[in-house]
Structure 1
Amino acid sequence: MDLPPEPRRKLDGAGQAAPPQQAAREEAPADLLSAIASALEHGQQKKLLSLCRQALDQGYSPDDILSKGMVKGMSDLGDAFSANRAFVPEMLIAARCMTAAMELLKPHMAASGHEPVGSACLGTVQGDMHDIGKNLVKIMMEGSGIQVIDLGVDVSPQQFIDAAQQHHCGIIACSSLLTTTMQGMRQVVELARARGIRDQVKIMVGGAPISQAFCDEIGADAYTPDAGTAARTAVALLRALKHSL
């Protein structure tokens, strides 16, 4: 009777077959981080926390768990949301999972000397009480390593600028869901210029009635259509800002 072929074994640097235990150790990190990403994407909070604890116990750095596991999961879900393959309830469930996992990781990140990419203040503009989109952006930004100052809803231009100056924020992120409130974003840009901080802060705008054309018209720095894109753009802007200073 023919025997099944022997499973292929990973080769070491010399071209020799690595011992099974060694191959398993080399492949485990990617497998575990992928499992973390998947658990977050599917809103499996208990599984996510268990996997994060397992990763910490096995010596993975908090940065790797965050960036290669959790952020990947949220980014994949954000892409699905942008393509209408996922919807607000899934995003909110994943956001709660992300919050719980971040609470687990924060003490380890502090102990490892983790520094945030930068800081951002965000809020929904004056006259607008909608916060779902803003909350999703907050979770995605925090998951990307940004320190976020959440100003809430109905935020005046002065509150945005005061917070940016007080907390030394590199980004002001403004959200609006109503056409009647979107002009508040223009006022934020104008006040930042009047206060003399326009070259020190990047202003991001987003929300249902906002477009790239409106962003260009008011002189903001970036328009993003969804939370995942907002987080990626914020990281890029903060890194560029650091290099320019």
Structure 2
Amino acid sequence: MTKTVILGVIGSDAHVVGITILEQAFEAAGFDVVNLGVQTSQDQFVDAATEHDAEAVLVSSLYGHAKQDCEGFHQQFADADLEDLTTYIGGNLAVGQDDFEETRAFFREMGFDRVFDSETDPEEAIEALRADLDMRSSESEQESQYVSA
């Protein structure tokens, strides 16, 4: 079964090259990719995840304002009953970012499952997503076994 991922550049960011590379890499890896493009609002991510019954949402941001753009992001998904969605964010996420581990911790606290810097190879994100989605599938299968027992 093909896993559907929503991909987009959040906020007012108009950097298109990275998102295009990610789209091609995830498609080549066998994912069904819905690319929302640049300057994507939180509502557009939620609507696309709902419409396409997505397993994951991948957020890109290169202009350094992701902290502001992602404020309340996961609450939007919770309000749409999409709490189990896997969410990733990557790029140049903070202006003047000196310590990426601090930035990673900030976005993890925001609710993102994984946080990547702008130097991350797409293959690393692909392997991480495969592992995360397989893990969640296994948890769902275990839960359904308990229910049917």
Instruction: Look up the equivalent residue of 2:139 and give its one-letter code.
Output: S
Task: Give CA-to-partner distance per residue, 1:16-73, whole Å, 9 cap, x none.
Answer: xxxxxxxxxxxxxxxxxxxxxxxxxxxxxxxxxxxxxxxxxxxxxxxxxxxxxxxxxx
Partners of 2:93 and 2:66 in 1: how far apart? Answer: 10
Q: Is the 8 A contact 1:125 1:155 kept in 2?
A: yes
Contact in 2 for aligned 1:174/1:185 (Cα 8 Å): no
**Counterpart selection for 1:133 from 5, 15, 18:** 18
Instruction: Tell me which of 133, 140, 146 is aligned to 1:238.
Output: 133
Match of 1:206 among 90, 106, 109: 90
Question: What are the ranges of 5 or more consecutive residues in structure 1 without an aligned counterpart?
Answer: 1-114
1:175 pairs with 2:60: yes
- Hey, what's the Cα distance between the residues in 2 that align with 1:172 and 1:145? 16
Aligned length: 129
The question of 1:217 aligning with 2:109 is answered yes
Q: Larger RCO: Structure 1 or Structure 2 (Cα < 8 Å, ≥ 6 residues apart)? A: 2
More strand by share: 2
1:150 is aligned to 2:35: yes
Q: Is the 8 A contact 2:65 2:93 kept in 1?
A: no
Tell me the CA shift for residue 181 of structure 1.
Answer: 4.1
Residue aligned with 1:224, SS = strand
- Aligned-pair distance for 1:127? 0.7
TM-score under structure 1 normalisation? Answer: 0.49
Aligned equivalents of 2:29, 2:47: Cα separation in 1: 24
Q: How well do the aligned residues superpose, as a CA RMSD in angstroms?
A: 1.6
Larger relative helix fraction: 1
AA aligned opposite 1:217: E
- Alignment check: 8 A CA contact 2:11 2:40 kept: yes
* Residue 219 of structure 1: how far off its partner (Å): 1.3
Question: 8 Å contact 1:203–1:221 — kept in the other structure?
Answer: yes
